[in-house]
Structure 1
Amino acid sequence: MPVTSSAHLYNARQADQQRAAPGGARQRPGRTLEAADRGAWSVTATFPPQPRNVGRARQLTCTALAAWGAADLVDSAQLVVSELVTNAVRYGRGAISITLALTDAALQISVADFGRELPQAREAGEEDSSGRGLAIVTMLCEEWSVTTRLTGKTVSCWLDLS
């Protein structure tokens, strides 16, 4: 689900000339917004709980952050999004919603599903192929929390901008 701007139209040649930013994001033409000028930005997408949608959630993250002038957050944000959406696909139920909200202080990443099972950090062994997701989220984010609802849960975390 791309985040677009109708303020400017660019042809393919101009798009190819844009330099790549961290995480493969394309920098948008024009000035980069300072944190104080950004205000608050948000985007929400909902999709079926299918593994291929983890990549789509990462792409949404990359596109939104590039559009908001925060491409420096792409690598960390995509990793956190991958972990949270993968957990929702594996252990949640029903449709998955992701919300990204950027303020002058932090990027809030929230992933909601209809499952009742709460996420639990666990210690993965050296040979284990999974079990490190919440440890990664804990390392990268200022904090994370789970909000339970009558119809499921939302896992939220905050990437500090400093």
Structure 2
Amino acid sequence: MPSDWDYAFEMPDHPRAPRVARRVVRLVLEEHGERELVDQAELLASELIANSHRYAKGPANVRVKRIGARLRVSVWDGNPDLPSFGTAAVSGPGDEAGRGLGLVRLCAESYGGFAYGAGALGSGGGKVMWFELGDEGAWRGLG
């Protein structure tokens, strides 16, 4: 079983933040020999970070953490509005939005989010969205 580790980094409120975050997630996983999880984690992390950039003002904090057989990626931002993962299928080809959380729902082994008010966790409020992947890196629901 892999050893536990934990990385956290802050992304500025910038249009390139999702792309930079994808590269950092990829680098962390490759450095730890987690190549089987790279593509899936990179895709899902970029969806959460892109949502943060689109709907929240200010920086986002990203955390990539290995706990036993699980990999958890979480994204914090200052917008306390918690989106719904929904139950509908992923958006159609002509839709310009709505795919991100659907992909997380379809591909992650577990996922969720929680909002908190001002003063909680030593901040002005916000939310954390997260997903987990296991060792097998299965792309649930896509094949």
TM (norm. structure 1) is: 0.73
Q: Which amino acid aligns with 1:94?
A: G
Alignment of 1:12-31 (within 5 A): none
Does residue 115 of the first structure (1) align with residue 82 of the second (2)?
Answer: no
Q: Which amino acid aligns with 2:126?
A: G
**Deviation at residue 72 of structure 1 after TM alignment:** 1.3
Tell me which residue corresponds to 2:57: 93
Which blocks of at least 5 consecutive residues in structure 2 are unaligned?
Answer: 118-124, 137-143
Q: Which runs of 5 or more residues in structure 1 are unaligned?
A: 1-35
Higher relative contact order (CA 8 A, sep 6+): 2
Match of 2:97 in 1: 130
Percent identity reads 30
Letter paired with 1:158: E
Aligned residue number for residue 53 of structure 1 = 17
1:39 aligns with 2:13: no
Cα RMSD of the aligned pairs, angstroms, is 1.4
Instruction: Answer whether contact 1:104 1:161 (CA < 8 A) is retained.
Output: no
Residues 41 and 68, structure 1, Cα contact 8 Å, conserved in 2: no
Residue 125 of structure 1 and its aligned partner are, at CA, apart by 3.6
Shift of 1:42: 1.1
Shift of residue 126, structure 1, vs aligned partner: 3.4
Equivalent position of 1:149 in the other structure:
116
